[in-house]
Chains A and B, each alone.
Chain A
């Protein structure tokens, strides 16, 4: 599931082609909006306050760099003017071109451009370090948070959403910080600076240049608005088409078995058609941005040329001024385009940051007790007293559950699906807290322990044999990080895993692949048992530990588990009743309550629910 979600997320059309394609591309087009823009942004600013000094330095360099960049054309224009007037004088025979002055002016311009480049580099350098650092912190915070959130949060959220916060959303924030922020600063200063410079040359021409400004802003705004509409449509169409693709590829066998090819293709074509329509429209509109900006820019250029020519005749301005002005008008367009798009970029960033913060704000597990009880020499006695619990308070799963388990007892919990068997052990390990009633370990309410202290008493073997991408040695050591290699191997031996591990390439050092699919399900299960043995707990929980392995392997695992359960209080949940017949106590659950309890033979004699359940597996009904 999570992987599919990733894929869909990545499908956001990435159109930003960086420089040369003009402003307003891609980013900021999707039209996402944050629910609480102001709050999110000020919180993001809070994250940045640590870098206050660096950011002030960045702003200083941004301004200086922009300033030198802006003064450049004016001086260069002076060089041209000097040349032009010199030339006219030369033609009239009344003077010479002043090359010395020209060379000074040009050298000065070069200096300015050098300074500008250097400052702009320094600015980028500092800003990237700030933004990557914030990115790092956001990710670290998310990872930290992941292990602090109560489990019921995860019942409602799929992993893909959380993963996309770690990668996509944090990346979006990073991009804004590293690029858009400096862009905003330089854009604003460029606009102001250019305006000042233009005015210093000639107010009439400045006015002419500004006549086109509302036109430019208006057009850009309109295009962004229109294309946003289609981008959203495109997003939806992509979602539909990809959803259908994932579904049909995932269910290929079913589709084939029911001759569903034609229906599937037909459905796909309708999605594909609507994707085509929104795709070309959004691409067309966003592609129009550049030509239209250029057009508006060119109108400015022409106006300047005409007006400049006219004024030059009147000797109101010089030829170099026209050249400088043309450069200014050209410099003007890009920041205007960027500023027109800023609110969109910021909105998108806020939306991404908001999702990150939302995750960071999720209520944590109720805090630990202030005065924890220590339980160093745990006996492994467990008692449930009138426990009530529901994942959702309105629909109770466990109703008035009570049971007392003496140390070293093997307790089996059986019952139909949905009876609440797994919930019992989740409560015992305090993955969830009871609604009412209490659970005692060695006579202490489990809420009086710290979670770590409590869980130190337990080890779990689950149906889903969770291992991670590392060596087998490290996977077993997960049960006890301080164990020596020798202890790990001892545990593997006790779990009957040592033998097969030796047959694997690299033995204990074999690295499990990313899907941990390079060893069989049964082998994985044996490793989780070894891991539990190494943890050496007082209380053991086996939840359907053998239901996904075949019978032969099951025999092996059964032996391993018997080793494991020796001298430990154990809770076994199983479908296959054969595995639990030798339990000291069998709790039969139905609809969240214990309806029968006793040993296998006692329960059979009662001829109740258990015996019905047990006999049904021999199909004696007919």
Chain B
């Protein structure tokens, strides 16, 4: 999973900025309760007076205070005198004032009023509160508009709150911008890396991974990673910052109540974890059951004819029903487990508020904290709890994403087993196209037995070499070795005397016109599919080739002709038509070697025969290699090779083989009914 982060490198700088922005956001978010507590404490309770130091004071009063201050604090005080007239002195209280100075001043103020007995053994908070009430009294004497003072303070603080909330939303939106760009960009990079990687794979890698799994890895798994990148940027960084920041501020307000938050978090996590550990394994089971449900339904659909022919509709319904019941029961269990979560979480959060008020009110009464601080504390507590909830959700999501990450890395770290050599042999301009197998042995990756053993033959230009044998005898395997879809395990294959492993793969393949066993067409039109063989082909080329491949008739019948749209996998044309289009595609290529891997099976005998005759005319001078099931298809080949269990058991012409090869005779008999 971590390995995937290297694809995010181009986004390192924006992500660092995002972290900075998140830090800013957390701070602004957390400052809000603080401002609110100021409104309550200072604005309402203290009438808008922040410090127990008046901004203006009668000179007579000031003298009394100065008397009660020690030298250091006296100097401090004198430093912040702004100006004075005969009656009163103005003091600058907007600058930075040390806590000690504030308390000392407050004490001095109280002592100057001969109220020393009030503060004996009292908490600093109480001293400040009394100091503030003295300031208020002083202001009243001086005739200052107390209402204006109070409302100005509230408006000022409110304005700050608005500013903070604006900064917060700007940060959040910017982080969202960076996060989504990073997530989508990282996903794009990973997706294209995988795709390029898979395109470089040989058939061996496709066998080990399976096509379906490669598709999911390139699609769903990448989407998972994209989501998780976004989540990491948005939540994994934000939540701890919020939690820690909230905790620090909460402790600043009331260190003695920290345990309440700790307790709530522990209870909450215990509940989330235990609910999840009950539900999680069931999630997996649900997935299995959904797969099972799909399987049963798919079996029913693919076997519709059989189901109806044997009157087993009821049986199929029951089969579906039993999985459906299992699935429903499991889903019900999960839902019922999960519905406990929300009410319990709400209860814990509300319970926490109540507990804070209860414990907090005792503290307030003792003068350890103010009411506004308690209210702020509740909000910090909620933010801390939220951050833990966010994190626990991330940890529910992460394991799933890390599975996806692992699957992606597996693909990226796999190297194609077939690679070009560093220095490849160039092919001469004019090649003959002679293919020679010398003692070729081949074993599929992970296979236990050799699929081919010591195969030797020469396929000469101007001749047809045909392979026949039962399923699994290795016919297709042989022809798949020629374009290097797999590499031989031992022995060698040469093209005009050059070992094909010394050639560049693309050069090698450009000399081969290949018709695979599975006739895959790509979505597009008939024309685009044919041009896949040669993108520079002209209309005349197309016309000429489809006449050879016996496709012209059905193409002519389509209204759109060559522009007839082909759906994905070519499902909208019949098997026989698909086969003929695949043959045309290969013929479009000006190759030296043509390989037909069981390419005539879906054709009826007549079409098959005509096609072969046309082929003889158009590519008779090339090397032709045919794999076939039917004897009829190949009986005129110059060379027929009979395979059994990966070994050559007969080699020669039809006539020769009928004399010498018992396997061939067996096949010919069963198909042609020729007893002679």
Contacts and interface: CB of A to CB of B under 8 A. Distances in A.
B54 to A, nearest CB: 19
B158 A306 contact: yes
Interface in A230-280: 238, 241-243, 245-261, 264-265, 268-269, 272-273, 275-276, 279-280
B599 interface: no
- Secondary structure class of chain B's binding surface, majority of residues: helix
A154 B301 CA distance: 9
B632 A128 contact: no
Contact of A268 (B150, B192, B336): B192
Interface in B174-226: 176-177, 179-181, 183-185, 187-188, 191-192, 195-196, 198-203, 206, 211-212, 214-216, 218-220, 223, 226
Contacts of B203: 252-253, 256
A1 B520 CA distance: 13
A147 interface: yes
A124 B187 contact: no
A260 B184 contact: no
A18 B195 contact: no
A552 interface: yes
B244 interface: no
Contacts of A308: 39
Contact of B342 (A120, A310, A319, A550): A120
Given A252-B203, A468-B303, A136 B162 contact: no
Interface stretch (A193-201, A377-385, A455-463): A455-463
B375 A323 contact: yes
Contacts of B24: none
B294 interface: yes
Interface in B384-411: 386, 389-390, 393, 397
Nearest to B588: A258
Q: Which of A80, A87, A254, A290 has the most CB of B within 10 A?
A: A254
A167 B324 CA distance: 11
Contacts of B347: 113-114, 116-117
A551 B520 contact: no
A17 interface: yes
Contacts of A290: 172
A323 B39 CA distance: 12
Given A252-B211, A431-B308, A143 B321 contact: yes
B177 A284 contact: yes
A588 interface: no
A372 to B, nearest CB: 14
A298 B168 contact: yes
A20 B155 CA distance: 31
A154 B589 contact: no
Nearest to B224: A14
A343 interface: no
Contacts of A87: 364-365, 371
Contacts of B302: 159, 464, 466
A337 interface: no
B516 interface: yes
A121 interface: yes
B297 A163 contact: yes
B105 interface: no
A306 B606 contact: no
Interface string B328-370: 1001100110011011111100110110011001101100000
B180 A283 contact: yes
A295 interface: yes
Contact of B328 (A102, A132, A281): A132
Contacts of A80: 357, 371, 374-375
B630 interface: yes
Interface string A156-174: 0001001100110000001
A439 B151 CA distance: 97
A249 B612 CA distance: 31
Interface in B13-31: none
Contacts of A558: 670
Contacts of A268: 192, 195
B361 A280 contact: no
A305 B39 contact: yes
A143 B303 CA distance: 14
A420 interface: no
Interface string B294-308: 111111111111111
Interface string A444-483: 0000000110011011101010101100000000110100
A132 B331 contact: yes
Given A135-B328, A455-B310, A121 B343 contact: yes
B147 interface: yes
Nearest to A467: B303
Given A86-B365, A253-B516, A312 B470 contact: no
Contact of A301 (B32, B518, B589): B32
B444 to A, nearest CB: 15
Contact of A621 (B35, B300, B343, B613): B613
B5 to A, nearest CB: 18
Contact of A242 (B147, B219, B317): B219
A307 to B, nearest CB: 9
Contacts of B639: none
Nearest to B312: A478
B568 A106 contact: no
Contact of B470 (A247, A416, A452, A551): A551
B36 interface: yes
A290 to B, nearest CB: 8
Nearest to A293: B169
Nearest to A166: B297
B301 A159 contact: yes
A360 interface: no
Contact of B609 (A99, A243, A273, A621): A621
Given A117-B347, A136-B328, A617-B632, A147 B317 contact: yes
B234 A522 contact: no
Given A128-B339, A287-B230, A313-B147, A249 B211 contact: yes
B172 to A, nearest CB: 3
Contact of A83 (B44, B161, B364, B613): B364
A406 interface: no
7 contacts: A20-B389, A91-B130, A125-B336, A247-B522, A247-B568, A303-B158, A616-B609
Sorted from nearest, which 10 A-B pairs have the closest CB atoms?
A124-B339, A291-B172, A306-B158, A280-B184, A550-B470, A295-B169, A298-B165, A251-B520, A128-B335, A284-B180
Given A313-B44, A417-B603, 7 more contacts: A135-B328, A247-B569, A254-B520, A276-B188, A292-B169, A451-B308, A552-B666
